[in-house]
Structure 1
């Protein structure tokens, strides 16, 4: 009799439910993309068009890329994982705010909300990766052998780091609203110190010792290794990126587990 009165979805459940996550993904696609012209398609074309425009502008200023013969390819292989990290970490950080009303239902937890936004953003950026890089290879008539496992590894590294940073920021931005402004200031130099324009190996040796601790440098290096067979990024340590991502995710998840009820009411 007592067991029959216990709800199937206990409010203290921590492990994500795939059924709930799928429902949240479709909800976000409907609310975020259903109202914009072109819907979900425009969500894919918007970053593709932005990257293409920036690539054309910079390729006109810099004729000879540091690697290969196509500046567009060199630029995109560094910019894509960087933008992916920024976008996914931002979406994960806003998970509590976006699904605030749904968190009061016993079948939905903050973990579901985080993973729903994470998986949807990963799917979007996977399509952007394929469209942009395939388009560049076709347009510039670049002949190369792409190391798919390394490209996938770079994608997973970027996604994992974004999940860790986003989870930590999800707590910090709700607990301390000023952190959103601080984070925006802190991340501005990342565009210049993530080796998007200048390869890590071309940096001054004294500067390299500091840059090595930027996980994005390892991600960009891994991605470029997948496209340039002669490039040996010996400085890359995927394990370092995984440890940073896991540490941030663990800390963020622990803090959210303790404070998510109070944060959801803000």
Structure 2
């Protein structure tokens, strides 16, 4: 015989008791989830920056010294070359070193930010498998370290050149900072789009490297726009880096009026490319980690 449940017992038993309520002391000890996640993101970016510093500069001969020597040697080579061919003064001012430095430094900022951003996922692919590390953290870490490094290099080189030579230049921070802001936004935008293309299609890295080589000669580093034939000036203005280098030099040479510089155009190109790159990265970043 099977026992039947007592109807009186089932009716009066009521619902099973739920979990015990949390006391006021226990509730106060709980940490808000949102704040924890936000702090974790900052710590993640700092950790990635430290890892980048160690792997990129700490293990190579010379380390950070090479970051200063590379543009310095480029400036020295161009100065000696132009003196040897008989030129007594550059197209602006009287000193070759400061003339080339004001073109090379913002160009290097763009190139370094672009290249470092483009390799963000490939460089940190092993760490991106952890849930707390995202592709955005990897990109922000590389951009932050690159910008700080290039600004340090610029301060040291410009200070050294102005201390060693009579450059007859006056430093004006507003146009200089605007030039660097354009270089950073443009480099980050190009880099984010290339981050998707290089990771998804590895052959793109070689294609982009070949396409980038003429930029050194087409970006106003050696010849300013005013020194070009009139019929070619309009075409050169399509190159955003012409605007970056001209804006930089306007911060050193008093009276150098760069009316053709269009910051909105440079920022627009950088933001559009960056937005397109972020859309593709957000859509395919999980698939890219498996390549």
Which residue in 2 is equivalent to 1:31? 55
Unpaired runs of 5+ in structure 2?
1-18, 20-32
Which residue in 1 is equivalent to 2:69? 46
Matched residue count? 255
Which residue in 2 is equivalent to 1:188? 213
Per-residue deviation, 1:59: 4.3
Which residue in 2 is equivalent to 1:21? 45
Which residue in 1 is equivalent to 2:13? none
Aligned equivalents of 1:30 and 1:165: distance in 2? 25
**TM-score normalised by structure 1 residue count:** 0.90
Which residue in 2 is equivalent to 1:4? none
Unpaired runs of 5+ in structure 1?
2-7
Residue 163 (structure 1) aligned with residue 188 (structure 2): yes
Per-residue deviation, 1:53: 3.0
Shift in alpha-carbon separation, 1:74–1:21, aligned structure 2, 3 A: same
Q: CA RMSD in A?
A: 2.0
* Structure 1 outlier segments of 4+, above 4 Å: none
Correspondence list, 1:146-157, <5 A: 146-157=171-182
- Classify the secondary structure of the residue corresponding to 1:18: helix
Q: Which moved more, 1:111-120 or 1:138-147?
A: 138-147
- Classify the secondary structure of the residue corresponding to 2:251: helix
- Classify the secondary structure of the residue corresponding to 1:227: coil
Correspondence list, 1:224-239, <5 A: 224-239=249-264
Aligned equivalents of 2:185 and 2:66: distance in 1? 22
**TM-score normalised by structure 2 residue count:** 0.82
Which residue in 2 is equivalent to 1:130? 155
Aligned equivalents of 1:210 and 1:248: distance in 2? 20
Which residue in 1 is equivalent to 2:101? 76
From 98, 113, 128, give the equivalent of 2:138: 113
Which residue in 1 is equivalent to 2:198? 173
| Contact persistence 1:59–1:72 (CA under 8 A) | no
Aligned equivalents of 1:48 and 1:189: distance in 2? 17
| Contact persistence 2:93–2:167 (CA under 8 A) | no
Shift in alpha-carbon separation, 1:195–1:48, aligned structure 2, 3 A: closer
Residue 254 (structure 1) aligned with residue 279 (structure 2): yes
Aligned equivalents of 1:185 and 1:88: distance in 2? 18
Per-residue deviation, 1:92: 0.6
Which residue in 2 is equivalent to 1:265? 290
Per-residue deviation, 1:17: 2.6
- Classify the secondary structure of the residue corresponding to 1:17: helix
